[in-house]
Each structure stands twice: as structure tokens, then as C-alpha cells.
Amino acid sequence: AKEISCPPFFTSFTKRKVIDEQMDKWINLKVIEPSQSPWAAPAFITYRNRK
């Protein structure tokens, strides 16, 4: 399939820090792994129980 280019979504510094910390945690737990793929999907933060 043809690659498409999309600009990254704007994320506040605070949310970016939360995303980076969670990604590092999941990488260490082997839930996810780093990738150099040209394909990507945006990360979204959803809060549960107001946390």
C-alpha cells in the first residue's frame, strides 16, 4: 500500500510525559516493542474514574 504522510497530533507537555512514561513501561514489560516502520498510529490518552 502507498505510504501517506500525516502531521503529528499536538500533545501538551504534560500529556506527552505521561505517554512517554507509559510507553517505556510497556516496552520494559515486553507488551510492545520499538519499531522503525513507516506506518504509525496516534496515541490517545483516556482517563478512567477521573484519574
Q: What's the pLDDT tens digit per position in 10-43?
A: 889 998 898 899 999 999 999 989 888 877 777 7
Q: Which pLDDT belongs to residue 7?
A: 78
Question: Is 22 within a domain?
Answer: yes
Q: How confident is the model at residue 50 (pLDDT cuts 50, 70, 90)?
A: low
Q: Please name the helix (run of DSSP H) or strand (run of DSSP E) that holds residue 20, with its range, or none.
A: helix 13-28
Q: With respect to residue 4, please indicate whether it lies within any of the assigned structural domains.
A: no
Total of domains in the chain: 1
- Can you give the residue range of the structural domain that contains 23? 11-32+41-51
pLDDT of residue 28: 96
Q: Are 11 and 44 in contact (CB under 8 A)?
A: no
How far apart are alpha carbons 40 and 6 in whole angstroms? 9
Q: Say what the pTM is.
A: 0.64
Q: Is the CB of residue 7 less than 8 Å from the CB of residue 31?
A: no
Query: What pLDDT score does 29 carry?
Result: 95
Element (H, E) at 27: helix 13-28
Question: Looking at residue 34, what is its pLDDT?
Answer: 87
